[in-house]
Chains A and B, each alone.
Chain A
Amino acid sequence: MLGVFNTIARRWQLQIATLANRIIFYTQRLPWLRGLISEQAYAAVRAKRTAGAVAVVLRIIAGLLESLLYFGVMIALPVVLWADEREAGERLQLFMHMYFCISVLMAGITSAKIMETNEVKYTAVRLMRIAPTRFMRAVLVYRYSTFFLYQWMALTVIAGIFGISALQALMLVVTVTMWRVGSEWLHLIMFRRSNIVLVKKTGIIVLVMLLTLAAAYLPLTTVDGVPLFGAKAFDQPLLIVLLLFFGVFTGYVLLKQTDFTAEVRAVTNHDDPLLNMEQMMADVQRKAVQANESDYGENPSPPYSSKEAAGRKKGYAYMHELFIARHNSLIRAPLRKRFAAIMVIGVMLVSSALLFAADHLDVNSLEQFLPLLILAMFHLTTGMHLCKVLFYHCDITLMRYHFYRKNAVQHFRLRLGWMLGMNVLIGAALASVLSVFLLILSEGVVHSILLPIWLLTLTLAVFFTVHHLLLYYLVQPYSTELNTKNPLFTLLNSLISVCFIVAMLLRLTPWTLASVVTTLSLAYLFSALPLVSKFAESRFSAK
């Protein structure tokens, strides 16, 4: 057993060294730190080992944080936000119910370490020739001991809000951990009996996720009829005892009696596309930005004579116009999809307004959901897709030319205007749909929330346009395979999610939220051009 842990530790070191190299590479490109980190940094093996030790500590903290975020954001936050007027007992029941739906039902069906396909498993078993059984036993011990510790600590912290004692928290987490060990065994048995790898059946997995998440979150809304069966299940001592015994028994079988060779070989086939995630993602990404050949044909090159040339656009405007004309389908498709999504949202909102308006829905109570607009606009604006199209079909070649990088401000300005136009249109469509919904709810009276909604959607359209395009010019996150490997880009992008959570927690009034977003958007907009002119020349390049 010790040998297996050593191998996993070595594999871990390799991953940490790769991460360290990536961080060195991108940090060298940061304007303030460029001079501090030399090329020799890659050779600092001892420093990397020290960094590795730090990374172990950070990984433990990250594991704990992940569990904290799970309990905090996925379960506690929605209860606190949307059920704060209910009694403490009912809130506790809601919490338990959601925990049961997600951790017991959803995770039990959708995740199984034994049947999972991943690169580490492939490398360890197929390339490093570690015995599958030894490897899987180590993985299971590591996975469920850390799972138990992180969840227990996280739940002890969060549970106080709902009046759950430390002992109760311990019992809950032990039960769930044991159930998860048992579910690993169930997945194994299913594979042995019917040759089905359930975690790979995408359709079933998605359906299960939708159903369990709906069962978890619907009791938070005003929709009646969803029983809190999760809370009831956790209240049954007999069931708890059964689950505990089941976990202990299956844990013993898995660790002492099971030969995992057939299962591990089944999920580490060389041809399995899941093993080569990067290649698969690159193919998918490329397909997503594949140009339509007919666009080239429909926009033949006008043979400019010197006379015709007099009236034509020049320089970057000329190139930009040709680019849009020849990638029309690629640019229009996401726009059409977004309008369709907004239409669907509109139809759903309007029908729910017509059906439930009188009994359940009140315009004033909708104010607390306003921060959802941040997430909605983040996903509805087309920035990231367009940046990929620009990168893959235009900039990947031109950014090798010094003049193109030097004149970055000129094409940035053109593209900003073009993307703003599209995203403002999307924002306006969403705001219109929401206006119709609110007008139905308020029976034709113009509610005071309407104006901040319009202001918020439009300024968010500006914010995200600038955000995506500016990050593209300053951080240029895409590699030639269209992968995003820049940790700085990921970090900056995840700040959006943090802002959303903060906005939710602060419970700002509609006007305050709209004013804050407007100020931020304008500041972002006006700082974009100076930033691009200062940094893009050195940063806007192909990796």
Chain B
Amino acid sequence: MSVRDLKEDDVGYVYSLPILPEFLTGYEFIRFFIDVNENVIARRGEDVDGLFDMMRIAKDDRHKLLKHYSHGMKNKIQMLLFLLMKPPVILLDEPLTSFDVIIALEMKQLLREMKSDHILIFSTHILQLAADLCDELVVLHDGKLSRVSADLLGRPDFEQQVIELLQSDAENEAGAAGNGLGQCQDGTQKEKSDAGSV
């Protein structure tokens, strides 16, 4: 396997709030996207309806304007772009935020499928999602990144372990700084995980 530096086009970024041109329908936007990225997408864009089927977007919805799409449907369209472009690395910001139960399950399934040929790096507050999908876990706490042992991921008490880890950090800092506890409780607690391999 050859090694090379990452280029801008190698990384795709999935916004937590999808940003799509609202005057186009989902179908038109995907067509346009395939047209202008023809050289990268190649034959993957030949069957547009097949792509929508794969994303479980109903036939009627494909020809609705994007401005009338729900948040979940917009996110599916956004994910579809990455399935077409196949960038080696995909960054996702809170990928299941504000989805209803069904779409959240569908998206989770989709992410699991994408793991096989992409590096997915995502941020989440949902420990269960991290436990279900991730191969590696990094905790961002109080502005510092720390790696969590991969062995922890499969264990039934994974969530409890991570919470204890964060709390013990907070207590240590409170002891050392005297007033650190409030800061830790207010501080953002994010987990970053790296799932899958190229």
Instruction: Say if A and B assemble together.
Output: yes
Instruction: For residue B32, give the distance in angstroms from its CB to the closest CB of chain A.
Output: 5
Contact B21–A398 (Cβ < 8 Å): yes
Q: Does A318 sit within 8 A of B, measured CB to CB?
A: yes
A315 within 8 A of B: yes
Taking the nearest CB of chain B, how far is it from the CB of A379, in angstroms?
Answer: 28
Q: What separation, in Å, do the CA atoms of A393 and B22 have in the docked complex?
A: 7
Give min CB distance, A52 to chain B, whole Å: 33
A480 to chain B, nearest CB (A): 11
Known contacts A397-B19, A397-B21, A397-B22: A315-B36 contact under CB 8 Å: yes
Are B21 and A394 touching (Cβ within 8 A)? Answer: yes
CA distance A315 to B36 in the complex (A): 5
Q: Which residues of the other chain, B, contact A296 by a CB distance below 8 angstroms?
A: 23, 65
The reply to whether B37 and A301 contact each other, CB–CB distance below 8 Å, is no
Within 8 A of A (CB), among B20-75: 20-25, 27-28, 31-32, 35-37, 63-65
Contacts A301-B28, A303-B63, A402-B8 given: A315-B23 contact, CB under 8 Å?
no
Q: Which residues of A contact B36 (CB under 8 A)?
A: 315-316, 403-404, 407, 410
B27 close to A291 (CB less than 8 A): no
Give A398 to B78 CA distance when docked, in angstroms.
Answer: 12
A467 at the interface (CB under 8 A from B): no
* Shortest distance from the beta carbon of A318 to any chain B beta carbon, whole Å: 6
Q: Check: A5 CB closer than 8 A to any chain B CB.
A: no
- Give min CB distance, A290 to chain B, whole Å: 13
User: Is B9's CB within 8 Å of the partner chain A?
Assistant: yes
Instruction: Determine if A322 and B28 form an interchain contact, defined as CB atoms under 8 angstroms apart.
Output: yes
A403 touches B24 (CB 8 A): no
Is there a chain B Cβ closer than 8 Å to A326's Cβ? Answer: yes
Residues of chain A from 277 to 327 with CB closer than 8 A to chain B in the complex:
291, 296, 301, 303-304, 309, 314-316, 318-319, 322-323, 326-327
A49 interface residue per 8 A CB criterion: no
In the complex, A314→B32 CA distance in Å?
7
A-B contact count (CB 8 A): 53
For the complex, is A400 an interface residue (Cβ under 8 Å from B)? yes
Q: Which of B8, B15, B31 contacts A304 (CB 8 A)?
A: B31
Provide the bound-state CA to CA distance between A371 and B15, in Å.
50
In which size bucket is the chain A interface? Answer: 20 to 34
Q: Please, how many angstroms separate the alpha-carbon atoms of A328 and B179 in the complex?
A: 61
Q: Complex formed: what's the CA distance from A309 to B20 in Å?
A: 22
Q: Does A301 lie within 8 Å of B19, measured CB to CB?
A: no
Assembled-state Cα–Cα distance A267/B135 (Å): 62
What residues on A are CB-neighbors of B65 within 8 Å?
Answer: 296, 301
Smallest CB gap from B8: residue in A: A402
Chain B residues closer than 8 Å to A303, beta-carbon distance? 27, 63
- Determine how close the nearest CB of chain A comes to the CB of B152; give it in whole angstroms: 36
**B23 touching A318 by the CB < 8 A rule?**
no
Of residues 393 through 427 on chain A, the ones whose CB sits less than 8 Å from some CB of chain B are: 393-394, 397-398, 400, 402-404, 407, 410
Contact check, A393 vs B23: say whether CB atoms are below 8 A apart: yes
Flag if A318 contacts B25 (CB, 8 Å).
no
Which chain A residues lie closer than 8 Å to B28 at the CB level? 301, 318-319, 322
Closest to B37 in A: A403
Q: Which residues of A contact B35 (CB under 8 A)?
A: 314-315, 318
A291 surroundings in chain B (CB, below 8 A): 23
Nearest CB in chain A: distance from B176 CB, A: 28
Q: Within the assembled complex, what's the spacing in Å between the Cα atoms of A158 and B143?
A: 62
CB distance A326 to B25 under 8 Å? no
CB contacts under 8 Å to B, within A247-280, are none
B23: which A residues are within 8 A, CB to CB? 291, 296, 322-323, 326-327, 393-394
B53 to A: closest C-beta gap in Å: 15
A322 touches B24 (CB 8 A): yes
- B residues less than 8 Å from A404 (CB atoms): 36
A301→B21 contact, CB < 8 A: no
Closest to A327 in B: B23
Q: What distance in Å separates the Cβ of B31 from its nearest Cβ neighbour in chain A?
A: 7
Which of B's residues lie within 8 Å of A, judged by CB?
8-9, 15, 19-25, 27-28, 31-32, 35-37, 63-65
User: 11 more A-B contacts (CB under 8 A) besides A315-B32, A315-B35, A315-B36?
Assistant: A301-B28, A303-B63, A318-B31, A318-B32, A318-B35, A319-B21, A319-B32, A394-B23, A397-B22, A402-B8, A402-B9
Report A's interface with B, CB cutoff 8 A: 291, 296, 301, 303-304, 309, 314-316, 318-319, 322-323, 326-327, 393-394, 397-398, 400, 402-404, 407, 410
15 contacts between A and B (CB under 8 A): A301-B63, A301-B65, A303-B27, A309-B31, A314-B35, A315-B32, A315-B36, A316-B32, A318-B28, A318-B35, A393-B23, A394-B23, A397-B22, A400-B19, A403-B36
Which are the 7 A-B pairs with shortest beta-carbon distances?
A: A315-B35, A301-B25, A315-B36, A314-B35, A397-B19, A326-B23, A319-B32
